[in-house]
Amino acid sequence: MTVYIVSRLTIHDRSEYDKYADRFDEVFSKFDGKLLSVDEEPVILAGEWEATRSVIIEFPSKSSAFAWMRSDDYQQISTFRDAGSTLSSILVKGGDHS
């Protein structure tokens, strides 16, 4: 079943975060994911949205999403993300929900 990771980040140290961003594609390309959206200017439809960056990623399965997230390469670069931003992230199921 397709899953989506939806993340919102508040970047507070751009130089640290850029170390993560600069290495992201190289690491991500080794896995079965698809980067659907990276947006620093989303249109707020309801409520408040404090984040400075929103990201949506698609994976063919929960196991492939966790394989990427738990990989040594991703864990290594995520230290830069954590040093430069505050992250909130969820994994949601895709597919037909009728």
Of the pLDDT bands very low, low, confident and very high (cuts 50, 70, 90), residue 77 is: very high
pLDDT at 95: 80
**In which domain, by residue range, is 35 found?**
3-93
Say yes or no to pLDDT of 96 above 90.
no
CA distance 90 to 98: 22
In a domain, 87, yes or no: yes
Tokens, residue 85: 């931003």
pLDDT at 88: 96
In a domain, 98, yes or no: no
Please calculate the CA angle 59-60-64 and round it to the nearest 5 degrees: 70
Tell me the C-alpha to C-alpha distance, in Å, between residue 80 and each of 24, 70, 74. 11, 15, 10
Domain count, the chain: 1
What is the overall mean pLDDT for the chain? 95
In a domain, 50, yes or no: yes
Q: pLDDT digits over 20-65, tens only? A: 999 999 999 999 999 999 999 999 999 999 899 999 999 999 999 9
- Residue 63 has a CB neighbour count (10 Å cut-off) of 10
Mean pLDDT over 3-25 rounds to 97
User: Which CATH number do you get for residue 85?
Assistant: 3.30.70.100
pLDDT at 21: 96
Percent of the chain topping pLDDT 70? 97
In a domain, 32, yes or no: yes
In a domain, 77, yes or no: yes
